[in-house]
Structure formats: C-alpha cells, structure tokens
Amino acid sequence: MEKIIVLDFGGQYKQLIARRVRELGVYCEIHPYTIALSALREMQPKGIILTGGPASVFLPETPTYEEKLFDTKIPILGICYGAQLMAYRCGGVVKTAPVSEYGHAELLVGTDGPADSTVSDASSGQGKEMTLMVGVAEKSACWMSHTDYIAAAPAGFTVTAHTADCPVAAMENPEKGLYAVQFHPEVVHTAEGTKILSNFVKKICGCAGDWEMAGFAQRTIKELKERIGDGRVLLGLSGGVDSSVAAALLSRAVGKQLTCVFVDHGLLRKNEGDEVEKVFGSDGQFELNFVRVDAAERFYLKLAGVTDPEMKRKIIGAEFINVFEEEAKKIGTVDFLAQGTIYPDVVESGTGSGGAVIKSHHNVGGLPEHVDFKEIVEPLRSLFKDEVRKVGLELGLPRELVYRQPFPGPGLGVRIVGDVTAEKVRIVQEADYIFREELDRAGIDTGAGQFFAALTNMRSVGVMGDGRTYDYAVALRGVLTSDFMTAEAAEIPWSVLQTCMNRIINEVKGVNRVLYDLTSKPPGTIEME
C-alpha cells in the first residue's frame, strides 16, 4: 500500500496534514521525529512530510533529525519548522525574523526570487522551472505562523515563492527530492494548499491516489474473523460513534462471541443510557451480548469536591476501569479486549507521534490491569472521525447514530466546570437537551461539528418574577469542524439563541444566565473544561 509518513516535530496541525493527504487518496501515518531512520526506511514510504513546531532549529536540545535523512532520495516536504530544519541541515541560513508573520499573508510564486539581499543569486534559482508550485496562482492567500525564517536557501535549492516579510516562503531541490514551504498548506486559509500538497503527493512522490474508505468494513470484518477465530471478545461500549462502529464491526465478524459492557456513569446526556440500551440491547439490531451497569452514585462519590479537570478525567477513567473489571470477572476469561480507539486518540494521548498529552482519559495506554485477556483489538485505530462515520454508513448503521453528536469519554464531567454533583448533572442535561432540540427544530446542521451546553462555575444575581435569584450561568457551545483538530464557532441565528436562552432559564431550575462561547480551536479546546 502506498504510504506517506508525517514526522511530528510538535506541530499543532500534524493530524490535519495527515487528513489532507488521505483526502488525496493516499494513506498517511504520523510518527514521532525520534523514529530511527532504519525504521523509517522499513516502512517504504513514498514520501515524508516534516511538520511545523514551536522550537528554533539553532537552539540546543531542539527537535532535530540526522542529516542522512536528506540524502535518502525519498521525497521530503518540510512545512514551517520542518522547512527551517531542512534548510539548516542542508547548509542554509535560518535567523530570527525582524518581523514575525502570524495569520494571513500574500504568497508570491515565482523563481525570480524576492528583492531581499539576504537571498543569494545562487540560491534564488532565477529562470528555473518549479515542481512543487506548478499550477499554483502567482498571487494567493497563505497562512503563516513563524518567528524564525529561512534567510538564505542552501546551495542547489531554488526559491520558488516569497512574501513581503519572508524571502524564502518556498524552496526546492528536485535533484535531491527536497521541498519546503514556510507557510501551512494544510489549513483552509491557504488558498492553494490542496494543490501544493497534491503536487507533492501525486506528481513528486508518484502516488496513484487510489486508497479509499470504500470496502474498509468488509476487509476489516474478514481480518477480524481470521484473527479472533472462535475466541471471546470484550468491548467497553459507550454508545458514542467510535465504540458503536467498533461494536458493529465485531458483531458482524464474531456475533455472540462479543460481549459489550455499557458502564452508565451518570454523566451521559439526557435519556442517553436508555437510548444506548435500545440500540444495542436484546431488542436491537446487533447480534452480541449486552450488559448495562448503572454506576452513577459510585462516580458521584468519587468526584465529590474535585474541581481540577485533569483530575476529574483521571478519576472517571480509573473508576470506569474498576467497574469494567468487576463486570469482566463475572464474564470470565476472554481472549480479546476490544476498544473503539481512533487515530486522534492515539496521537492526542501522546502515543505514536511523540506529541504532547492532550487527552488523558482515552483507553490508549490505560488498560485494565486485572482483566484476563490475550490481545487488544482496535479495528478503528487507523481512522479519523469522519472516516469512522463512513464505515458506519457502509455497515448500514442508522444515519442518526452515525452522525450523533460526539461525546467525550468523561461525559458531563468535563462539561461541568468545578465540582460534580447530581444536581449539576441534572442542570446541564436539561439545558443541553433544550439546546439540541431547538437546533433541530431550526433545521441547523449539527452534523458538521459539535453543539452542546456546559455548566460554568459562575453564579450571579438575577431577577425572576418579583424575587432575586443567585443561580448558575450555562454556556452554549457550537463549533464547526471536519476533523476536530481545528474548529470555529458556529454562527447560530440570534433568534434561535434567544429561544434557547428563554427556554433554559424558564424550564431549568438553578439557571438564571445563558452565554454563547465564541472561542475557536486553537486557542481553546472544543470542550468547556
């Protein structure tokens, strides 16, 4: 299978790069910059992409890679920090910029080079033909995010683009298979980004672009049958998209050999526990063994007085495993422990990419210690969220299940700022239900992102009727995203927000103020913790 490898140097857009490559019909994986060159060669990638990152290439202990990487003849594309690293390792000059560039910039494409005197005539490549930038508009918008810059390209490189403040916005050395851009082609703000990535992946790396999601389900079911045989499988089912699709795949593969344990921790959305049981229980469409555990009081006791969001995540994750282990012991020995892990879980948990730990509650690296099993089964481990949904549709799952609103593992525990109580859970459940109900009535497409209510820890004075109140503020959150790595606030009509506000304050006891969160990701996360 054709493969592009992304080497992660700490860039926030690493997953977005991989998604963009997959959208071009080429399989792509993310690996840490610490991976050995020998291991990299064994993967036989058609090309390698070096991500951006916050470091400076000329500082001690900064992320780097051995110089031999740039002599492998494997096509390499450096992005942002990756471009600077390529220039620095190949003999170019990298400096701290007198003027940093953040956000939109006008990209000027051409091999005539900028007027900046720091770029030598030898490296400007005047009159040479371009490879990476072929077919790209002479002027277009791009997205910059850098303090350092390439002041002089290495010998043998052609400078193929610049901006007003960046003399080397793009450079290439086709003879050695080396290409670099200072800007971010993977983000939607770069107008010609897809064209540039396509040039690298298809024209330079020679990828056919014939990898597709169609048929993934049938291939995976066949592989699961062969791997599991007559073994028994245990899966922790949350009712979310990921675990549901994993359950459906395993059910199609091994039927009643699969037992799904649904731990209802009392932090689900309104009516969700019953909805999960309706879909996966004995009267549902799946052939599997379904076990529901009502453990709300147990979780509330563990969370009493805890306000730190990271601590709440860890407590919820640990207690989930405790409950899961207890149920697993009742079942007896199983051969395989299944998880609905998807690719962002792997990367954001700091596993497999060398990235920072963003989400600590995922099951990646946090397995039950006392469940007797032989192997882990993660049928969705290589997929992004939208790819998981495509598999769900391929399996014939109801569209409303496949496109249900994403929900974090710790549930409302991270949508309640401050300590968690049964009363706060009730408040946020009711407010969230009203919000989603009104969005549905207004015909707003919530499948394009994530929409929910959260409970802030702020209380304020209000007036209801003839009396004063001192109640909580609910924050409504609506974001639009395709990959959940970046997101922008949804522009919900004012009239809809007004209706939501009126209903929540009138119908949900304990709330006297409603806010709408406009924060994008980054700098914020999608959740409210």
Catalytic residue (choose from 80, 166, 207, 500) = 80
Backbone angles phi and psi of 165, in degrees to 5? -115, 0
Judged on CB neighbours under 10 Å (0-12, 13-18, 19+), 414 is buried
Cβ neighbours of 369 (radius 10 Å): 7
Per-residue pLDDT of the chain (529 residues; tens, 9 = 90+): 899 999 999 887 888 899 899 999 999 989 999 999 999 999 999 999 999 988 899 888 889 999 999 999 999 999 999 999 999 999 999 988 776 666 788 999 987 655 443 333 334 444 467 799 999 999 999 998 877 899 999 999 999 999 988 899 999 999 999 999 999 999 888 999 999 999 999 999 999 998 877 678 888 999 999 999 999 999 998 888 899 999 999 999 999 999 999 999 999 999 989 988 888 888 888 899 999 999 999 999 999 999 999 999 999 989 998 998 898 888 888 899 999 988 777 766 554 444 444 344 444 445 566 666 778 999 998 888 888 988 988 887 888 788 888 788 899 999 999 999 999 999 999 999 999 999 999 999 887 789 999 999 999 888 776 677 889 999 999 999 876 767 899 999 999 999 999 999 999 999 999 999 999 888 888 886 6
365: Cα separation from own chain's centroid:
18
Report how far residue 50's alpha carbon sits from residue 52's, in angstroms, rounded to the nearest whole number.
7
DSSP class of residue 217? H
DSSP class of residue 229? T
Catalytic residue (choose from 31, 146, 162, 184) = 184
Q: What is the pTM of this model?
A: 0.68
What SS3 class is residue 297? helix
Catalytic residue (choose from 2, 101, 172, 186) = 186
Closest CA to 245 of 450, 384, 414: 384
Is 189 one of the catalytic residues?
Answer: no
Is 387 one of the catalytic residues?
Answer: no
Cβ neighbours of 229 (radius 10 Å): 11
Backbone angles phi and psi of 317, in degrees to 5? -60, -45
**Are 199 and 161 in contact, with CB atoms under 8 Å apart?**
no
**Contact partners, residue 322, CB within 8 Å, separation at least 6:** none
Is 223 one of the catalytic residues?
Answer: no
Residues in the chain: 529
